[in-house]
Amino acid sequence: MSTKTFQDLITEVHERGICQECGGCVSFCSSAEYDVIGLKDPYKPPEYINKEKCLECGICYYICPQTHILDNELNKTYKFTDYSSMPIGHYEDIYSCQATDAEFLKYGTDGGVVNSIINFLIEKKLIDGSVVSKTEAPFSREATFANSKYDLLKASGAKFDISSQLDEIQKFCTYTHSIPELNHYKFKKLAVVGTPCQIYTLRCMQDLGVTPSQNIEICLGLFCYENFLFDRSQIAKFEKDFNIKIRNIEKINIKEDLIFRLKDNKVIHVPFNHLNDYMRPACNACGDFINIYADISFGGLGSPDKYTTVITRTEKGKDIFSRALEAGIIKNLDLDETKKKKMIDLISQYSQSKLKRQENFMYNL
Ligand SMILES: Cc1cc2nc3c(=O)[nH]c(=O)nc-3n(C[C@H](O)[C@H](O)[C@H](O)COP(=O)(O)OP(=O)(O)OC[C@H]3O[C@@H](n4cnc5c(N)ncnc54)[C@H](O)[C@@H]3O)c2cc1C
Ligand code: SF4
Ligand code: SF4
Ligand code: SF4
């Protein structure tokens, strides 16, 4: 059998509308300096740039979350069997946590735990920094590098003042193209924060031992039910559908639904099933809600307001989390087994629902 190449990704993934734009194929191929493919438009699947230079190595095909070639390898490494017996993946423990630093807590999406842990790892010199997502405006983010508390807080974009740039924004999206950004920091030890599709492609690269994954010290995975993308022509419809002016949004969070905090402190919850017109279509083809291959997974679901749900998975994740807890940079709620079970049941419910959506979508494709 001949080796599959990027041409096969075009036929089997892009043309079927299931490219998750995780950026894995571009990150590998450009970090290996083949420069064969690239993201000409960040909101579309990658394309050939220099097709004639393709070495037909097949790596892009192997590391794509939509080909599932390495599922068995990853499942072995991350001790995952299947969703029916393990709906939230293999895990060591589950917590509800909050940053003890007032600024990380104030500007955090939920409990400010992810940024607190990244900052702790930087201060302990366990990493040189992290690729994170800089919030420019509601539905407008870009990947950036943070190696200090200042950078982390700056990226969190606590307050949006978008009057000047609103007219220039062409696409409104909650997703961040952070994986190709890794190529800029080749000689550093990095933490990566990512959605399940992004962590999947990185884990595949690590499994194959290909660049730039050797620089990754820890994978901090976010829960992810879906992401949103719409263009200028849909703004008026969006604002009418939800009775919200984009310029009045102060903060967006994705938890059990999409949550808008407005500048007048009003909070509006929009259920996922009201958002189908704005959802990235390829998210329908994704089954992992809780980031089963991360070292630690983080989400808001299951925890009270301003707390983050934390699921430790690997030995490395468990170790880093307990050091952060011991150092007092985060604190956790005292959860008994009944409360933990309630959280696990709720997260499992979302996990199963996302899986069902994927099955239906793929069946009808
Ligand atoms: C796109 C997206 C979808 C999500 N969907 C859900 C959901 O359906 N249900 C749920 O319970 N939780 C979801 N989450 C997770 C939740 O919104 C919080 O991110 C999580 O609870 C951590 O909160 P925190 O306050 O501890 O993190 P913080 O301390 O605020 O830190 C978050 C860090 O993550 C970085 N970051 C965010 N996205 C990226 C990215 N793609 N690439 C690189 N860095 C990134 C930020 O820059 C910041 O440094 C989602 C998050 C994102 C970004
Ligand atoms: S060189 Fe390899 S990784 Fe790059 S496009 Fe060709 S097959 Fe894919
Ligand atoms: S690796 Fe990611 S960006 Fe590349 S084709 Fe697959 S899903 Fe799309
Ligand atoms: S639902 Fe989340 S993890 Fe899945 S493809 Fe969309 S952004 Fe990626």
Using the atom order of ligand 2, give the atom closest to the CA of residue 55. 1
Per-residue pLDDT of the chain (365 residues; tens, 9 = 90+): 679 999 999 999 999 999 999 999 999 998 877 789 998 888 899 999 999 999 999 999 999 999 999 999 999 999 999 988 888 999 999 999 999 999 999 999 999 999 999 999 999 999 999 999 988 777 778 899 999 999 999 988 555 455 556 666 677 888 999 999 998 887 789 999 999 999 999 999 999 999 999 999 999 999 999 999 888 888 889 999 999 988 888 888 999 999 999 989 999 999 999 999 999 999 999 999 999 999 999 999 999 999 999 999 999 999 999 999 999 999 999 999 999 999 999 999 999 999 999 999 999 99
Whole-model pTM: value is 0.96
Q: What is the pLDDT of residues 46-55, one digit of tens each?
A: 999 999 999 9
Q: Is 20 left (phi over 0), alpha (psi -120 to 50) or beta?
A: alpha
| Mean pLDDT (the chain, rounded) | 92
Selection from 328, 362, 305, 290 nearest residue 78 by Cα: 290
For 288-332, the DSSP string reads -SS-TTSSEEEESTTS-TT-EEEEE-SHHHHHHHHHHHHTTSEEE
> What is the pLDDT at residue 31?
81
How deeply is 1 buried, as exposed, middle or buried, from its count of CB atoms within 10 A (0-12, 13-18, 19+)? exposed
Selection from 290, 272, 256 nearest residue 87 by Cα: 290
Bridge partners, 296 (sequence order): 220, 312
Using the atom order of ligand 1, give the atom closest to the CA of residue 132. 44
Q: What is the pLDDT of residues 175-196, one digit of tens each?
A: 999 999 998 887 789 999 999 9
Q: Tell me the two tokens of residue 183.
A: 């190529």
Distance from residue 193's CA to the centre of ligand 4 (Å): 13
Using the atom order of ligand 2, give the atom closest to the CA of residue 59. 3
> What is the pLDDT at residue 164?
57
Report d(CA 207, CA 213) in Å as an integer: 9
- Relative orientation angle of helices 113-123 and 315-326, to the nearest 10 degrees: 90
> What is the pLDDT at residue 166?
61
Distance from residue 348's CA to the centre of ligand 1 (Å): 19
Ligand nearest to the CA of 350: 1
Report d(CA 126, CA 173) in Å as an integer: 32
Residue 141 DSSP class: E
Report d(CA 81, CA 90) in Å as an integer: 8
Report d(CA 361, CA 349) in Å as an integer: 18
Write the single-letter amino acid at 146. A
Which one of 37, 201, 210, 211 would you pick to mutate in the ligand 2 pocket, going by the greatest count of ligand atoms within 8 A of its CB?
Answer: 37
Q: Would the CB of 65 count as within 6 Å of ligand 3? A: yes
Tell me if 19 sits within 8 A of 13, measured CB to CB: yes
